[in-house]
Amino acid sequence: MPEQHDVRLKTLETQVACAADQNLLDAFLRANTWLPHGCSQGTCGSCKMQVLEGEIDHRASSEFILTPHERSEGLALACQATPRSDLLVEPVAEVADDGVVRHPLRDVLGTVSALEDIARDTRRLVIDLDEPLPFTAGQYVELLVPGTEIRRQYSMANAPADTASIELHVRRTEGGAATAGWIFARMHVGDRVEVRGPFGVFGIGRPQNEPAILVAGGTGLAPMKSIVAAALAEDLVPELWLYHGGRTEQDLYDVEFFRDLDFRHDHFHYRPVLSEQDWDGANGMVTDAVLEEFPTCKGFAGYLCGPPAMVEAGRKVFKRRRMAPRLIHQEEFTDASDLARR
């Protein structure tokens, strides 16, 4: 068993044990001590913390995300850094009690109960869990690729009320270890899978006064499906729009599911948008469809999940329509091959 160190969090006067090969974020989340974080893989920088006492190992922290200057000032990425001694730390972002219920990070085993093709290069994967894994709509888990140490992140698409299994939407990446090499190749119903989670802060964590506009690209629909389910079940928002963008109809999925919700709920609106196929629905870039429908987004909250270019375009559209930047929330797909380049 690797050596353990005590890590104290200054603001909350909390202390956790952290193994010498365990990252600080992992140690705190397992102890159910919430820390600000986003991607948990060293790309977003939102888990930066100040190391006030003790020595850490930055491990794979990228110099692009954590600059040499920041390192010299004692900053560290909690999701990467491991302890070399006992530590006193303080997150850079505020640890506010924002009324959002947080769930501890756990390792859970599960069994693949469904695996189906639902759209072009896209599969729905359902894993029945050996024990419940509570999460907040919008959060994600990591799956361990069998026989490797590779972990890949996927957002839950099921309603958070349903804790017995998780539904994930997976898009095939050419040459990807987890997708082309596993989920789209040798995975079968009945396989055992190692799941770690929940992670992430994306989503509608508590009731809000602002109507919400959700914009998803491709499998960015997964967290949105969970958010829509939670928002409707728990009455979290006064009104809700869901935009889903794809190139052609082959990229859309769960269309009937959302059309039915739209039909049954006056305050939910479903907008599928295609960029490369004429059809009886909306055409063009999914973010342009938002621009067209909303003369102003002032007083709205925005949620974006999809490829980085779509998220970037969505942010611009929301700002152009004068949505307050603090009300714009985003979850980007981070491609593992991008990480290696950083």
Partner 1 sequence: MTTTEHNQDLSWLNDVTVTDLERDPYPVYERLRRESPVAFIPALGFHVATTKETCREVAANTEVWDGVISPAGGRTFGHPNVLNANGPEHDELRGMVEPSLQPAEVNRYIDDLVRPIARRYVEAIEDRGHADLVTHFCEPVSVRSLGDLMGLQSVDSDTLREWFHKLSVSFTNAAVSPTGEWANPDGFIPGDEARADIQRVVDPLIDRWIVEPDDSALSHWLHDGMPEGETRPREMLYPTIFVFLLGAMQEPGHAMASTIAGLWTKPDQFEQVVDEPKLIPRAIIESLRWTSPIWSAVARINKVDTTVGGTFLPAGSVVMLSYGSANHDANDYDAPSDFDLTRAPVPHLAFGAGKHACAGASFASEVCRIGLEELFEAIPNLERDDDHEIDFWGWGFRGPTELHARWEV
Binding site for partner 1 (CB under 8 A): 69, 93, 298, 315, 318-326, 328
Nearer to partner 1, 298 or 342 (CB): 298
Nearer to partner 1, 28 or 318 (CB): 318
From CA 50, how far away is CA 68, in angstroms rounded?
14
Nearer to partner 1, 215 or 222 (CB): 215
Instruction: Round the CA-based radius of gyration of the chain to a whole number and report it.
Output: 20
Nearer to partner 1, 46 or 122 (CB): 46
Q: CB of residue 324 vs partner 1: minimum separation in angstroms?
A: 5
From CA 251, how far away is CA 229, in angstroms rounded?
21
From CA 211, how far away is CA 247, in angstroms rounded?
27
Q: Is 200 left (phi over 0), alpha (psi -120 to 50) or beta?
A: left
Q: CB of residue 242 vs partner 1: minimum separation in angstroms?
A: 23
Measured in whole angstroms, the distance separating CA 320 from the mean position of its chain's CA atoms is: 25
Q: CB of residue 319 vs partner 1: minimum separation in angstroms?
A: 4
Nearer to partner 1, 192 or 298 (CB): 298
From CA 230, how far away is CA 259, in angstroms rounded?
17
Nearer to partner 1, 46 or 80 (CB): 46
Q: CB of residue 211 vs partner 1: minimum separation in angstroms?
A: 17
Q: CB of residue 311 vs partner 1: minimum separation in angstroms?
A: 12
Helix (H), strand (E), coil (C) string for 230-296: HHHHHCCCCCEEEEEEECCHHHCCCHHHHHHHHHHCCCEEEEEEECCCCCCCEECCHHHHHHHHCCC
Q: CB of residue 299 vs partner 1: minimum separation in angstroms?
A: 11
Nearer to partner 1, 175 or 295 (CB): 295
Q: CB of residue 36 vs partner 1: minimum separation in angstroms?
A: 11
DSSP 24-66: HHHHHHHTT-----SSSSSSS-TTEEEEEES-EE-TT--TTTS
Instruction: Locate 97 and state its tokens.
Output: 């009690």
